[in-house]
Homo-oligomer: A and B are copies of this chain.
Amino acid sequence: VSVEFISLFMKDFIAQLQSPTLSFLIGGMIIAALGSELVIPESICTIIVFMLLTKIGLTGGIAIRNSNLTEMVLPVLFAAISGIAIVFIARFTLANLPKVKVVDAIATGGLFGAVSGSTMAAGLTVLEEQKITYEAWAGALYPFMDIPALVTAIVVANIYLNKRQKRAAALDPTGDEGPRPNRVQIWPIIEESLRGPALSAMLLGLALGIFAQPESVYKGFYDPAFRGLLSILMLVMGMEAWSRLGELRKVAQWYVVYSVIAPFLHGLLAFGLGMIAHVTMNFSMGGVVILAVIASSSSDISGPPTLRAGIPSANPSAYIGASTAIGTPIAIGVCIPFFIGLAQAIGGI
């Protein structure tokens, strides 16, 4: 079995690296490494992200219209659990490593717990290329992992900072109270993430899919353009990944180790939870893969500004560098094929 597994897996893996989605990612890293001056304008990236997430939302919305929501409960729950768990994993592993500031570690956990719309889009596309079916509403799991992760990270970080501050005040001979601890409001954080460009595009699509009749533009515009636009975005992410590698040098080596291992770890955690839903609620294997992929992904658009505002004292070069330069390419280029291979080998699909 294990031999068959390996062979199946490797065969598959190579094949998937040749898929448009992944090959453009790799292509982007290569041309950036070769110092190409190719630039995809920011406005183009913005509109691509908008279209990808609106399309994912529309798909979900149209699907939800005629599907019983009870089967969403467990996956949604597991998405949230994964998002929260990932933050604590970082808190108790990365944060304790030498030369790693605790707040930076927590922020990094938050970013890796949050979801990257583009990574999810890549996952969905590769699944389709592999003719693996999944629940059309699977994309809608996004916010249920994204928001809990960001909220947890910001809360945990501020609790930590307040504790440290109190301790400092206590030791302080003058005995004066020092700046009073700032209490974290949770709702504003949730609001802010919901308002981010990526999530609001997705939720807009979802709402339109549920309440309006967007089928014509969906079939005629958003759906056909999806893969092509994604290929451009993958190129950009590849180039970005390379250009951000430098930033990582400024921070502790451990971030490199973390951002290589974490995507797998997080993905496996979610994959495991997904399998429970697969067995109990026959959540499709495709859905399990998606759960694993969004868990292994780390947020690129909305996460960073939210964390920057929520944990100002954390160093963005640390968490953004880790996720953009290593986390994301690993998630897209390695984890997607890996979890699909895993699903195929296990689920025999």
Contact = CB atoms under 8 A, between A and B. Distances in A.
Interface of A: 17-20, 23-24, 27, 30-31, 34-44, 46-47, 50, 129, 191, 194-197, 200-201, 203-204, 207-208, 211-214, 216-217, 220-222, 224-225, 227-229, 231-232, 235
Contacts of A195: 34-37
Given A35-B195, A41-B43, A44-B47, A20 B212 contact: yes
Work out how many copies of this chain go into the complex.
3
Contact of A197 (B20, B39, B214, B225): B39
A188 to B, nearest CB: 11
Contacts of A34: 194-195, 200
Contacts of A204: 27, 31, 36, 38, 235
Given A221-B225, A221-B227, A38 B23 contact: no
B220 A227 contact: yes
A72 to B, nearest CB: 22
Given A30-B207, A36-B197, A38-B201, 18 more contacts: A20-B216, A23-B213, A27-B204, A27-B207, A34-B195, A38-B197, A41-B46, A43-B43, A43-B44, A44-B47, A47-B232, A50-B232, A217-B228, A217-B231, A220-B227, A221-B225, A221-B231, A225-B228
A272 to B, nearest CB: 32
Contact of A208 (B24, B196, B216): B24
Contact of A20 (B207, B213, B224, B229): B213
A242 to B, nearest CB: 13
Interface centre among A129, A195, A211, A228 (most CB of B within 10 A): A228
